Amino acid sequence: MKKVVLTAVSVLALSAPVLGSVAHASEGGGEPLPNVQWSFDGPFGTYDKASLQRGLLVYRQVCAACHSLNRVAFRNLTALGYSADQVKAIASEYTVVDGPNDEGDMFERAGRPSDYFKSPFANDQAATFANGGALPPDLSLITKARTGGADYVFGILTGFSTPPSDIRILDGQYYNKHMTGNVIKMAPPLMAGAVTYEDGYPQTVEQYAKDVSTFLTWAAEPEMEQRKQMGFKVLLFLGVFASLMYAVKRKIWSKVH
């Protein structure tokens, strides 16, 4: 069989509306995405807070080395089940450039809950240069931009494998069965045992991928649970209102033949 040389350059361009448990083909080619069962699927689905906290851990220890999370503030982490003191402790682990001070100089200080997650690079040019010419996308809305949502993120993170014999991958590229064109410039980011879970959950690539996909879904749509609750209340109200209107109509027109 004739050799095929793939030269497409791509980085983790994850995201899109979460479409439940429907399996999707990755955009532009590749194998169908995994059909993962998520706790937030369906009209009554909710976020698994334990999974969210594990996903945050995976993001901080793995993904944050290349990917920013610009739209998430440390104070937002209280929605994951952290106390105010725990959020302060997490924020204080980061150094933030602030200022200018009274002398007109910028200075560094410990992070505060009101700060946002710090980008790993000074600017996009530095990020592109450090990643072989490919700009790692911000992950804040990553599950809202590609068909498949969380399934897409999970598929990319677990889709690394040895390329088929008829496909040659260039230096600095990696084969991913779910990626557009099957070529990605991001090296496999997850390794079994790389992140320690203190709650006893399996420390596998699949579990890491599922947890960080859940966390990134929350980052993109933190109001999802409230939206579903409001939708249910609206439907309940409309049902009661329709019943009352029907009863009134029957009473008004009961004597009309």
pLDDT at res. 29 = 60
Determine, yes or no, domain membership for 97: no
**Residue 183, SS3 per DSSP:** strand
Q: Looking at the predicted structure, is the pLDDT value of residue 255 above 80?
A: no
> Residue 200 class from Cβ within 10 Å (0-12 exposed, 13-18 middle, 19+ buried)?
exposed
pLDDT at res. 220 = 97
Residue 45 structure tokens: 């689905």
Determine, yes or no, domain membership for 110: no
Residues 155 and 193 reside in one and the same domain:
yes
Residue 78 and residue 56 in contact, taking contact as beta carbons nearer than 8 Å? no
Residues 13 and 56 reside in one and the same domain:
yes
Residue 74 and residue 113 in contact, taking contact as beta carbons nearer than 8 Å? yes
Residues 201 and 247 reside in one and the same domain:
no
Residues 166 and 201 reside in one and the same domain:
yes
Q: Of all residues in the chain, what percent carry a pLDDT higher than 90? A: 76
pLDDT at res. 24 = 54
Determine, yes or no, domain membership for 131: yes
Residues 130 and 248 reside in one and the same domain:
no
Residues 33 and 55 reside in one and the same domain:
yes
| pLDDT tens for each residue of 6-35 | 333 344 444 333 333 334 555 556 789 999
**Residue 104, SS3 per DSSP:** coil
| pLDDT tens for each residue of 177-218 | 999 889 999 999 999 999 999 999 999 999 999 999 999 999
Residues 201 and 153 reside in one and the same domain:
yes
Q: Report the mean per-residue pLDDT for the chain.
A: 88
Residues 245 and 155 reside in one and the same domain:
no
Determine, yes or no, domain membership for 206: yes
Q: Looking at the predicted structure, is the pLDDT value of residue 5 above 60?
A: no
Residue 218 and residue 142 in contact, taking contact as beta carbons nearer than 8 Å? no
| Domain around 232 | 223-257
Determine, yes or no, domain membership for 101: no
Half-sphere exposure of 186 (CA within 13 A, CB side): 25
Residues 244 and 145 reside in one and the same domain:
no
H helices of the chain, in order, are 49-61, 84-92, 124-130, 150-158, 205-220, 224-252
Residues 13 and 66 reside in one and the same domain:
yes
Give the chain's domain count.
2
pLDDT at res. 147 = 86
CATH code (residue 210): 1.10.760.10
* Across 62-71, average pLDDT: 97
pLDDT at res. 167 = 87
pTM of this structure: 0.84
| pLDDT tens for each residue of 121-135 | 999 999 999 998 889
Residues 151 and 165 reside in one and the same domain:
yes
Determine, yes or no, domain membership for 111: no
| pLDDT tens for each residue of 79-111 | 999 999 999 999 999 999 999 999 999 999 999
pLDDT band at 57 (very low <50, low <70, confident <90, very high): very high
Residues 132 and 233 reside in one and the same domain:
no
Q: Looking at the predicted structure, is the pLDDT value of residue 112 above 90?
A: yes
Q: Looking at the predicted structure, is the pLDDT value of residue 62 above 90?
A: yes
What CA–CA distance (Å, rounded) separates 132 from 95? Answer: 26
